[in-house]
Amino acid sequence: MNQLIPLEEALETILAGITPACQTERLEVTQALGRILAEPFIATIDSPPYTNSAMDGFALRASDSGGVLQVSQRIAAGQVPEPLAFGTAARIFTGAQLPDGADTVVMQEECEVEGDRVRVPARREVGDNVRLRGHEIKAGELLLEAGERLGPPALGLLASQGLANVLCAKKPRVALLQSGDELVEPGSTTLPAGAIYNSNRSLLEGLVLQAGGQVVGVWHLADTFDATSEALQQAVDAADVVITTGGVSVGEEDHVKPAIAALGELHLWRLALKPGKPFAFGRIAGKPIIGLPGNPSSVLVTFSLLARPILLALQGARDLAPFSLWLTAGFERRGGLRAEYLRGSIVSEGGVSKVYPIANQSSGALYAATQSDVLIVAPVGQDIAEGDSVEVIPLKSLF
Ligand SMILES: Nc1nc2c(c(=O)[nH]1)N[C@H]1C(S)=C(S)[C@@H](COP(=O)(O)OP(=O)(O)OC[C@H]3O[C@@H](n4cnc5c(N)ncnc54)[C@H](O)[C@@H]3O)O[C@H]1N2
Ligand code: MOO
């Protein structure tokens, strides 16, 4: 296990063994934000459900444009109109149903009202300012596939189809273990010599939540093999997935790997990844154990690249990879032996969005991560020259 494993290979190995938990629950649409849809959703109604006006104005036949027309009816949204009498116009409001016979709407700003008549400009086209029934969606169309993550637009879409409840994957139950004798919980006002506050817990609670998981237990471990094994066993009993931080490197105080190996099996350890080299993955009682390094920025990166896809796969999500795009490098850099995920910021220069690594790339530096917009992907052995296109993962797309 001394060879550094490429990230892609590690991900492939891990994800090949993850099957969706298949547990589902029916939720109110208003409560389903961020959840993974467990069944495809097929449109039950056309959208718009009836042909309607896109403007406040007058509905008429395009062939009557250019004349002065009698206003024969008034149609507000929610009313059912009469068919439009020949040679007349209907006062109509945005969203109101178009009367049979009308085929165009003229905005009121372009019309002149003269008592109960209206002068409409010439040369209006059929279909102007008209939203046709089924123009956007036809009943029977597949709107959302199973595995889709429900963002606000998807929730609005479901509601627009009259849906009040939706079948979603249950949230995977996650146990968090932090190892480190140096860790003190936030809230204690004095920090003893040699101690630091436990920041990984808060960091991970947020990351897990944003990846659709729920934290069901938190263990803070003493740096001993026995304490680590005991907590791992308890965590496995309580959760579907266990995420540990710290204690996965090569020192004598690093007990996570031997404890995983003793209680179950260790599948892989050490990636060609920076930060995040000591990442470990194994199983105990068949449940995934994700061993993240202790350094907070390593936690952010390894969670985003490895733990997040695992949590999403357990929910049956379709898109497991982080969203990425390509921007112009404002820097140059030599390729290394590990794929590096640099914390970076985006600067707009003369209309071009350029990306720069922030100065502090220490894997212990969490403040630096809060100042970053993106993770810049620097592949193994690949030099980057200023002006090159580089792949970036917006941090906001991860949480
Ligand atoms: N001889 C070697 N030493 C190290 C190697 C190596 O290959 N050879 N790898 C280095 C790398 S890279 C990393 S990353 C770290 C990871 O070590 P561990 O995962 O065992 O983590 P710890 O040693 O327990 O902690 C590392 C660092 O992070 C701080 N930490 C830990 N937990 C928390 C927490 N909950 N909240 C805030 N900060 C935390 C801890 O105090 C350490 O400073 O190993 C290198 N060493
Ligand atoms: O690989 Mo470590 O996570 O750089 O600090």
Domain boundaries, the chain: 7-22+170-314, 25-40+145-169, 52-131, 325-394
Query: What interface predicted TM-score (ipTM) does this complex get?
Result: 0.95
Q: How confident is the model at residue 2 (pLDDT cuts 50, 70, 90)?
A: low
Average pLDDT over residues 373-380: 98
Please say whether the dihedral angle defined by the alpha carbons of residues 22, 23, 28 and 31, taken in this order, is positive or negative.
Answer: negative
Distance, in Å, from the CA atom of 301 to the CA atom of 293, rounded to the nearest integer, reads 10
User: Which range among 186-195, 237-246, 255-264, 384-393 shows the weakest confidence by mean pLDDT?
Assistant: 186-195
Mean pLDDT, range 32-45, rounded to an integer: 98
Please report which helix (H) or strand (E) contains residue 34, including its range. Answer: none
Q: How many residues does the chain have?
A: 399
- State the distance from the centre of ligand 1 to the C-alpha of 293, rounded, in angstroms: 6
Average pLDDT over residues 17-22: 88
Pairwise CA distance, residues 378 & 356, whole Å: 12
pLDDT, tens digit (0-9, with 9 covering 90-100), for 53-79: 999 999 999 999 999 999 999 999 999
Q: Give the distance (Å) from ligand 2 centre to CA of residue 4.
A: 13
- 112 pLDDT exceeds 60? yes
**Close Cβ partners of 237 (under 8 Å, ≥ 6 residues apart):** none
List Cα–Cα distances, 225 to 96, 150, 179, 252, 258, in angstroms: 71, 41, 11, 10, 8
Cα torsion 171, 172, 173, 177: sign: negative
Could you tell me the two tokens for 392? 């970036």
Q: Is the CB of 228 under 6 A from ligand 1?
A: no
Tell me how far the alpha carbon of residue 204 lies from the centroid of ligand 1, in angstroms: 16
User: Is 254 touching ligand 1 by the criterion CB < 6 Å?
Assistant: yes
CB of 277 within 6 A of ligand 1: the answer is yes
User: What letter represents residue 31's amino acid?
Assistant: Q
pLDDT at 1 over 60: no
Q: What is the mean pLDDT of the chain?
A: 96
For 253-267, what is each residue's pLDDT tens digit?
889 999 999 999 999
Closest-CA residue, ligand 1 atom 17, reads 249
- The pair of structure tokens assigned to 234 is 């308890």
Residue 398's nearest CA partner among 341, 335, 356, 336 is: 341
Q: What is the mean pLDDT of residues 293-322?
A: 97
Tokens in use for 170? 């249950």
Q: According to CATH, what is the number of the domain 25-40+145-169? A: 3.90.105.10
Class of domain 325-394: mainly beta
CATH number 3.40.50.620 given to 52-131: no
- Decide: residue 304, CB within 10 A, 0-12 exposed, 13-18 middle, 19+ buried: buried
CB 295 less than 6 A from any atom of ligand 2: yes
The pLDDT-based confidence of 249 (bands split at 50, 70, 90) is confident
Q: What is the model's pLDDT at position 197?
A: 96
Does ligand 2 lie within 6 Å of residue 277's CB atom?
Answer: yes
Is any ligand 2 atom within 6 A of the Cβ of residue 338?
Answer: no
The neighbour count for residue 104, using CB atoms within 10 Å, is 24
Output DSSP code: residue 303: I
Burial of 232 (0-12, 13-18, 19+ CB in 10 A): buried
**Dist. CA 139–CA 49, nearest whole Å:** 10
> In the block, which residue shows the tokens 């002068």?
119
Residue 216 predicted with pLDDT over 80: yes
Mean local confidence (pLDDT), 170-189: 94
- 21 pLDDT more than 90: no
Q: Which CATH number fits domain 7-22+170-314: 3.40.50.2300, 3.40.980.10, 3.90.1720.10, 3.30.450.40?
A: 3.40.980.10
Task: Find the mean pLDDT for residues 191-210.
Answer: 96
291 within ligand 2 shell (Cβ under 6 A):
no
| Residue of minimum CA distance from atom 4 in ligand 1 | 249
Task: Inform me whether the pLDDT recorded for 39 exceeds 90.
Answer: yes
CA-CA-CA-CA dihedral for 118, 119, 124, 130, to nearest 10: -20
User: Taking Cα atoms as reference points, which of 80, 55, 58 lies closest to residue 70?
Assistant: 58
Is any ligand 2 atom within 6 A of the Cβ of residue 274?
yes
Distance of CA 171 to the CA centre of its chain: 15
Residue 221 pLDDT > 80: yes
Residue nearest to atom 5 of ligand 1 (CA): 249
CB of 196 sitting under 6 A from ligand 1: yes
Question: What number is the average pLDDT over the span 6-15?
Answer: 97
Q: Where does residue 180 fall: left (phi above 0), alpha (psi -120 to 50 degrees), or beta otherwise?
A: left
In angstroms, what is the span from residue 276 Cα to ligand 2's centroid? 4
Tokens for 106? 């003229």
- Say if ligand 1 is within 6 A of residue 296 CB: yes
